[in-house]
Structure 1
Amino acid sequence: MTNWHQGELIEVEISDLSDTGDGVGRTSERVVFVADAVPGDRILARLLYVKPNYAQAKLQEILQPSPHRVRPSCIVADKCGGCQWQHVDYEYQTIAKRNQVIQALERIGGFVAPDVKPMLLAGDALGYRNKATYPIGKSIAGKVVAGYYQKGSHQIVNLNQCPVQDERLNILLREVKQDIQKQRWQPYDEKTHTGLIRHLGLRIGRRTGEILLTLVVKDPRIPEIETIAQEWLDRYPPLVGVMLNRNSDRTNSIFGRETRCIAGKPFLREEFAGLQFQVRGETFFQVYTEIAEALLQQIQSELSLKGDEVLLDAYCGIGTLSLPLAKQVKQVIGLELQPEAVEQAKQNAQLNGISNAEFYAGSVEELLPKIDVLPDIVILDPPRKGCDRTVITTLLKAKPKQIVYVSCKVSTLARDLKLLCQDGTYTLTTIQPADFFPQTAHVEAAAFLVLSH
């Protein structure tokens, strides 16, 4: 094997995309990961670090561009860390994501030729995000900036608009930043743990057009904040509420535990799957509304509900999946760690006249073994880390007839599916990937399992 050294230039042809978004090149020496490279590119890359079996390199020069390489829609796409794949044509993005799912299931899960359906698409690869949360900072010149972090750093790339978010949010991004400057509210400095304003959160109801604005602050005692919040409501008719979230910890977490409404309403209204939902600024709701609906329809189709089933929705959030299914089953039980989300789920059930749904606050691993009703169907939609081992063990004992596992991280999905299927208790029938996050390397997938015996 040739000795490679840090700083050395190598020529490599890119053949694949990794699940982190990097281009992947394979030589006789090692696998090489190169950010901003596209399969089909022949490039010169400078080695950043070298390991025995792989290397990380920086794109230095494109010797021959890939046919899948396109001009990004965003003028700062080469700097901003919000999107990894704006330079990759959209059709190829979807092919690469489906391959991610297949490779994870085969490599991590040990499944042979898994049945992975074509990617579920909604048509719009831009302007789809119903939520954006921007860190607030200061430029060298002392101007207030807001945007996303530069790739591989915590340096903010200042934005006045973002092509992947709903365009109706752009005016707030641009003008609220100016108001923070005018009011002389100091942006938070994570190095010194000083300043006030940490993040600007924006969320919109795609169907209703209602907008919520959330300021994440180190200290809620901000001069004139209530007055300015009311001015925002008067200035922007779609804005229905201004929230203040306190996060005084020295942490990378965006939201703190305490949120209060300082003007307008603490929620926006949204129409989803034929129901009315109340959605707060800090609780979880899928960022691509239309794709979430399409995936829900696919789940309904695969389950073939008869009306007499007990459905348990673990990690239920505000009831996004369980409430639309409630009228098609006998009973719904929802489990969710966040108490605020559970309260919203209950309110959303009441809002839609749904009386056969119960929601409980607590960790799924603690609550699931205590449920005294054996569910026929379990929906799992855990965070990126996947399910706690206790959850898997409990399901293998309870043996629901069907499990739907919805995941935003295919490596943990494959790991957990292997545990559910390894002793033959469950059979993986099919997997439906869905493009919840166009222009990024992230992919959502729903796996469908049936009880084998």
Structure 2
Amino acid sequence: MTPSVNVHQWQQGQVIDLTIDDLSNSGDGVGRWQDRVVFVANTVPGDKLQVRLTRVKPTYGYGKQLNLLEASPDRIRPACIVADKCGGCHWQAVAYPRQLQAKELQIESALQRIGGFESIPMQPILGTTQPLGYRNKVTYPLARGSEGTVKAGYYRQGTHQIVNLNQCPIQHETLNPLLVSAKVAIQERGWSLYNEKKHQGRLRHLGLRIGQHTGQALLTLVTTGYLPDIKEQADQWLSEHTDLVGVCLNINPERTNRVFGDETRCLAGQPYLEEVFLGLRLHIQSTTFFQVNTVQAEKLVKSILAQLDLQGNETVIDAYCGIGTLSLPLAQRSQRCIGIEVQAEAVAQARQNAALNGLHNTDFFAGAVEHLLLEVSTQQSAPIDVAVLDPPRKGCDRNVLEALVKITPGRIVYMSCNPATLARDLKILCSRGYTLNRVQPADFFPQTAHVECVAFLEKV
């Protein structure tokens, strides 16, 4: 065992004893040493460690665990054998109740520190009985191993080195054999794999998606161009896997970190899977955004509907509506529901899903929310009673918030996967005539530091 250094030094390479007290928003364990904060990956609150400092700043630093001196009562055995290497999960060693506690604190801290809220009307987080096997969609980068074998998996923490997987405990179990089958076929076909540094090779990513309630699956290959024998292989996959309803090819020739390109072709079967969400039938394509945790998404939407308690005479606008995941349940309970979404393809799917469920009191518009929100709202014959927001992680454009203030809906529902930008935007809205009367967290992403949250605001 390396001896600890018990002197008042603060330098890279120094070895210290550290107790982990908390979990950071990025997933690292957090300890304090001589009034400085130290972040250590793959640790659990309550762990007592011997740590080597790998990077230091005046008030904080990063360390690497050398020895676990005393394990936390909240430390458990990870379900995955590569949990300490793979960047897909942060908290597989953390007992699930402790994960939920950390996520509640993350939201509370952001609302206090960034939003300036002193009294937070926060409800207990909506946890899950299924903290493993919940992901309905995965997208794996591909690479060649040292022996020429095909590797598929998540990146090693802090790198672009792929940790090879043949199964993943957080993805739906039906996707595991599809992952293995795809890797074997890619190897046998000899398709070239993309090298991001040289911008050479064809095959970039493997995408898998499943309907949690229907069991229908899609397989998508992301390439820079055509692959030889791809149609033959697509037909073979479809015949070998009874759960597979479609095989797609997405073309992304650009030098970019963006996974999907603009063009998707269906090679075999159908270009969508069917899912049932809160009793509604949805068609979901391979590149469509849909929450990765179907069961938890249903639980949170039920909570939203219960809190709104719509009476059937309201006009509701759903900004960032996607394929209508929230718009359609709202339309069932309101007089009219209007959706806005920047992706034209998602808007087309939203319209199809509305027709599929016989909902004719909906309108969907394609375009940026910051450009369309005010225009679409003022065109309605009735005032907007409820505005629903579900923006990307960066939060709402300031113009969106300004438009909301002009529209003056009686109630605003803000759904977010980023507590920091949620707190920032709530602070603006509450300075412009709204009050925060309920915050409902939900755990969509067990084993990770990510958390979903819905805030309910009312016009003063």
Give the shorter-chain TM-score range: over 0.9
Query: What are the within-5 Å matches in structure 2 for residues 11-160 of structure 1?
Result: 11-160=17-166
Deviations 1:39-92 (A, max 9, x none): 101111111211122111112211111111111000110111100000000111
What letter matches 1:287 in structure 2?
V
Compute the RMSD of aligned alpha carbons. 1.0
2:336 aligned with 1:335: no
- Give, in whole Å, the separation in 2 of the partners of 1:50 and 1:176: 43
Residue aligning to 1:223 = 228
How far residue 8 of structure 1 moved from its aligned partner, in angstroms, is: 1.1
Local SS of the residue matching 1:167: coil
2:186 aligned with 1:180: yes
Local SS of the residue matching 2:176: helix
Conserved? CA contact 1:2–1:29, under 8 Å: no
Gaps of 5+ in 1: none
- Give, in whole Å, the separation in 2 of the partners of 1:277 and 1:350: 10
- Give, in whole Å, the separation in 1 of the partners of 2:19 and 2:101: 19
- Give, in whole Å, the separation in 2 of the partners of 1:340 and 1:408: 23
Residue aligning to 1:450 = 458
Residue aligning to 1:375 = 384
What letter matches 2:403 in structure 1?
T
Deviations 1:147-186 (A, max 9, x none): 1111111111111100000001100101110100000001
Conserved? CA contact 1:378–1:403, under 8 Å: yes
- Give, in whole Å, the separation in 2 of the partners of 1:157 and 1:17: 24
2:370 aligned with 1:365: yes
- Give, in whole Å, the separation in 1 of the partners of 2:316 and 2:28: 39
Distance 1:133 1:451, change over 3 A: same
- Give, in whole Å, the separation in 2 of the partners of 1:225 and 1:327: 42
Query: What are the within-5 Å matches in structure 2 for residues 223-372 of structure 1?
Result: 223-371=228-376, 372=378
Structure-1-length-normalised TM-score: 0.98
Residue aligning to 2:11 = 5
- Give, in whole Å, the separation in 2 of the partners of 1:2 and 1:397: 57
Local SS of the residue matching 1:327: helix
Local SS of the residue matching 1:58: strand
Deviations 1:105-152 (A, max 9, x none): 011110013011111123100001100111111101110111111111
Residue aligning to 2:442 = 434
Runs of 4+ aligned residues of structure 1 deviating over 6 Å after TM superposition are none
Gaps of 5+ in 2: 1-6
- Give, in whole Å, the separation in 1 of the partners of 2:145 and 2:50: 33
Alignment partner of 2:169 out of 160, 163, 167: 163
How far residue 27 of structure 1 moved from its aligned partner, in angstroms, is: 2.5
How far residue 3 of structure 1 moved from its aligned partner, in angstroms, is: 4.0
- Give, in whole Å, the separation in 2 of the partners of 1:335 and 1:60: 51
Q: Which moved more, 1:302-311 or 1:26-35?
A: 26-35
Structure-2-length-normalised TM-score: 0.96
> What is the identity percentage for the equivalent residue pairs of Structure 1 and Structure 2?
55
Alignment partner of 2:200 out of 194, 198, 207: 194
Conserved? CA contact 1:427–1:450, under 8 Å: yes
